[in-house]
Amino acid sequence: MAVDLAGKMASSAAQDAAALKRVFETITAESCPLQFNFHMHTLCSDGRLEPESLIQQAAKIGLKGLAITDHHSVNGYRRAQHWLTQGQQRDANAEMPHLWTGTEISANLLNEEVHILAYAFDPDHSLMQPYLQSETATGELYQAHRVIAAIHQAGGLAVLAHPVRYRQSVMDLIAAAVEMDIDGVETFYAYGNPSPWQPSPKQTAEVAALSRRYQLLNTCGTDTHGLNLLQRI
């Protein structure tokens, strides 16, 4: 019974969109990668880390909060959450980061394939299932407005990932996403994979200005695909 209760509490915390929104409202260029990290991948999509290793590394770094955003999958999140729950059963006083549900979804926006990060949603919600099958959805389900609507129906927040990485103008993409009720943009992102990790100044300034114009939430993340959460690769 204690384990079941802990699991339910962990799931509830992972889907607390209001708490995550408050965190996003405080994000700055200094938030990532040592305080928060909302863009990371595991072996459950195209990353190299086991989910359990990722969450252990996050705890060692001292992250306050994070989300595992495997492409079209929440399997990494589920494994990491299980590890966290079991660890807290063993040591209730251990300092562990807050883990929110997350995934990265490919979608069509202005005839461009973009990535939409989903956070704090119910991973069992029926409308999210087409996007959690380890592959890109097709047809109408592939359209950005459908993806964003599904995330919202599942109680989550939708964020446009690395908005300066696409061929289309960042101004046009963000404006179109705003029309579809996007919640935020990944403002702080290292486009050139610098070492040590730091958000790209020029792109950050451009995205931050658009975020202010449209009153969007700001997020940050390393987009880790390798073995080190402090780097992209």
Asked if 74 and 45 touch (Cβ cutoff 8 Å), the reply is no
User: How high is the pLDDT of residue 95?
Assistant: 79
**Which DSSP category does 157 fall into?**
E
User: How high is the pLDDT of residue 11?
Assistant: 81
pTM of the model: 0.95
Span 95-122, pLDDT tens digits: 789 999 999 999 999 999 999 999 999 9
User: The domain 2-220: what is its CATH number?
Assistant: 3.20.20.140
Span 68-99, pLDDT tens digits: 999 999 999 999 999 998 875 556 556 789 99
Would you give the end-to-end CA distance of the chain in angstroms?
A: 41
Domain boundaries, the chain: 2-220
Rg of the chain (C-alpha set): 17
Q: What is the DSSP string of 199-212?
A: --HHHHHHHHHHHH
How far, in Å, CA of 146 to CA of 129, rounded?
13
Using CA atoms, how far residue 30 sits from 33, 34, 92, in Å, is: 8, 8, 30
